Structure 1
Amino acid sequence: MKLDIVNATCGYNGTEIVRNITFSVQTGDMVCLLGPNGAGKTTLFKSILGFLPLIQGEILLDGQNMTSLPPRVLAKSVSYVPQAHTPPFAYKVLDVVLMGRTAHIGMLSSPSSKDKELAARMLDDLRISHLAGKDYTQISGGERQLVLIARALAQEPKLLIMDEPTANLDFGNQVRVLEEVQRLSRKGLGILMTSHSPDHAFLCSTKVALMISNQGFLFGEAADVVTEQNLKAAYGVEVRLTEVKDSLGRTIQTCVPLLNQSI
């Protein structure tokens, strides 16, 4: 499955926030969307998901305009993990994950044993099965974020869109989520993920999209897009890229900010 964003201009009430965005995500890809606050990452996501109408351009799913596809068809193909979520009711965690099965269940049907087993497996994969019987409103923000990821995976999508999935997580859970993202990508799931950390692009992405406020949009391999010059243009700070070895001896780049020691 392939998602194409073609010459997309997005915004609110006719006011343009991002302009002329073109890139593609297909099954097996892991695309990391980087950019400073206000660059338009969330606006772009809302447009891709149909929450905001495009001002210009089109968004295609396997060559079909997404606005022409029925919601149930879309839900079986694309799932979404929001940046934040306010719990409306004290559902049990397992029930929240089961909601991801809605597109696969008839209107008058109840979740089957298979649906419940799949939901439990999603919790187990993310190492939060101990939360299954807890009230969703009584767990931490970081734990809720992991539950939302489990719910999205329960949809069994081909493409997963994640808006800052590690924003509310402690360091250990950030690592677990990034490991899960890598695993899912290797299994063939296409992933589009926003992040504020350039290191995430080096750790798990196959492609990087970098939004630079009022200057443009770059898309390509991490080594070509995430450069010291481009990061300074995007974030307005001096950085240096260095290299470290992972547990298998592979070289991974990392980004180090140059702090002003005179402050």
Structure 2
Amino acid sequence: MLEFDGVGFGYSGKSWTFRGASFRVPAGTATAVLGPNGSGKTTLVRCAAGLLEPVEGSVNRDGAAGYVPQARGSAFAYRALDMVLMGRARQIRVFRSPGQADRAAALEAMERVGIAGLRDRLFPTLSGGEQQLVLIARAIATGCPLLVLDEPATGLDLKNQVGVLTLLRGLIAGGMTVLLSTHHPDHALYLADQAVLMCGSAPKTGSAEELLTARELSALYGVPVSTLAYADGGDRQRAIVVHYDRR
């Protein structure tokens, strides 16, 4: 479980990035954070992960969070397995090396994500999608029930986007609690039970069904957006459609 209670954050000497963020992410559900560039999405998810301390309000979680940053490569040529082992840092005592249990947890996380075959590959040689999956496996290896992801589909092609989204949906179905920021409203529509819209200084929160609408998304991004209803195997679904100016 994750709960924001009146959270506000502003960098020193600057105006507030956001204020009054209040929402709850129950166990086994997903909440998506959406908004334009510079609206504070990354700042909010870093507060959720415990990497930033709110200036006001409080963030409450059931234990620590597994954090997944945007994949940006690495200056060091670590093996994929070693990258995942870094997620076991909380369980390893100071001046100790990873033990058999840590290695088993890392390998299990890689199996769960479907990248066990990459264990000996060097991280910088992997594709963007493979790197993202390694970072997700590292977060899973922490053993934390809460996963916080910062734009997990950034820079990925359609196939890798589908792979990451399918993985996350499976983790949520298995009881994982997820908070993610995204530039893709359709991804939020696919995954999220709730949404947080970074609109101005005060985030708007509510159910995904209520907030991921043509009206709300058009106002959020300042471009015309529609939602399209369709049937998928007998189930009614919605898709996001952006109206491009073709003049």
TM-score by length of 1: 0.87
Specify which of 76, 81, 98 is matched with residue 111 of structure 1: 98
1:65 corresponding residue in structure 2? none
In the alignment, the residues of structure 1 paired with residue 55 and residue 192 of structure 2 have an alpha-carbon distance, to the nearest angstrom, of 29
1:3 corresponding residue in structure 2? 2
In the alignment, the residues of structure 2 paired with residue 23 and residue 242 of structure 1 have an alpha-carbon distance, to the nearest angstrom, of 28
How far off is 1:89 after superposition? 1.5
2:245 corresponding residue in structure 1? 260
In the alignment, the residues of structure 2 paired with residue 218 and residue 117 of structure 1 have an alpha-carbon distance, to the nearest angstrom, of 42
Q: Does 1:146 align with 2:133?
A: yes
In the alignment, the residues of structure 2 paired with residue 259 and residue 139 of structure 1 have an alpha-carbon distance, to the nearest angstrom, of 34
2:145 corresponding residue in structure 1? 158
Q: How many residues get paired?
A: 246
Identity of aligned residues (%): 37
Alignment-mate amino acid for residue 59 of structure 1: V
Alignment-mate amino acid for residue 227 of structure 1: T
Distance 1:111 1:19, change over 3 A: same
In the alignment, the residues of structure 1 paired with residue 112 and residue 220 of structure 2 have an alpha-carbon distance, to the nearest angstrom, of 35
In the alignment, the residues of structure 1 paired with residue 119 and residue 49 of structure 2 have an alpha-carbon distance, to the nearest angstrom, of 28
User: Is the contact between residue 36 and residue 196 of structure 1 (CA under 8 Å) also seen in structure 2?
Assistant: yes
2:38 corresponding residue in structure 1? 38
1:225 corresponding residue in structure 2? 211
Give a deviation string over 1:90-120, Cα, whole Å, max 9, x none: 1111111111112122334433333323322
In the alignment, the residues of structure 2 paired with residue 124 and residue 53 of structure 1 have an alpha-carbon distance, to the nearest angstrom, of 34
In the alignment, the residues of structure 2 paired with residue 121 and residue 53 of structure 1 have an alpha-carbon distance, to the nearest angstrom, of 32
User: Is the contact between residue 145 and residue 168 of structure 1 (CA under 8 Å) also seen in structure 2?
Assistant: no
Distance 1:85 1:259, change over 3 A: closer
1:70 corresponding residue in structure 2? none
User: Is the contact between residue 7 and residue 58 of structure 1 (CA under 8 Å) also seen in structure 2?
Assistant: yes
Please list every run of 5 or more consecutive structure 2 residues that lacks an aligned counterpart in the other structure.
none
Distance 1:258 1:100, change over 3 A: same
Pairwise CA RMSD: 1.8
Give a deviation string over 1:157-188, Cα, whole Å, max 9, x none: 11110000111222111111111111111111
How far off is 1:81 after superposition? 0.3
How far off is 1:137 after superposition? 2.0
Specify which of 243, 246, 249 is matched with residue 234 of structure 2: 249
How far off is 1:35 after superposition? 0.9
How far off is 1:18 after superposition? 0.8
1:13 corresponding residue in structure 2? 12
Alignment-mate amino acid for residue 85 of structure 2: L
1:234 corresponding residue in structure 2? 220
In the alignment, the residues of structure 2 paired with residue 221 and residue 53 of structure 1 have an alpha-carbon distance, to the nearest angstrom, of 26
Specify which of 171, 177, 180 is matched with residue 184 of structure 1: 171
Distance 1:120 1:52, change over 3 A: closer
Give a deviation string over 1:201-259, Cα, whole Å, max 9, x none: 22111111111135x4222221211111111110001111012333x432221100112
Please list every run of 5 or more consecutive structure 1 residues that lacks an aligned counterpart in the other structure.
63-73
User: Is the contact between residue 45 and residue 180 of structure 2 (CA under 8 Å) also seen in structure 1?
Assistant: no
Q: Secondary structure at the match of 1:12?
A: coil
User: Is the contact between residue 73 and residue 131 of structure 2 (CA under 8 Å) also seen in structure 1?
Assistant: no
Q: Does 1:211 align with 2:198?
A: yes
In the alignment, the residues of structure 2 paired with residue 168 and residue 116 of structure 1 have an alpha-carbon distance, to the nearest angstrom, of 30
Q: Secondary structure at the match of 2:17?
A: strand
In the alignment, the residues of structure 1 paired with residue 2 and residue 167 of structure 2 have an alpha-carbon distance, to the nearest angstrom, of 21
User: Is the contact between residue 164 and residue 194 of structure 1 (CA under 8 Å) also seen in structure 2?
Assistant: yes
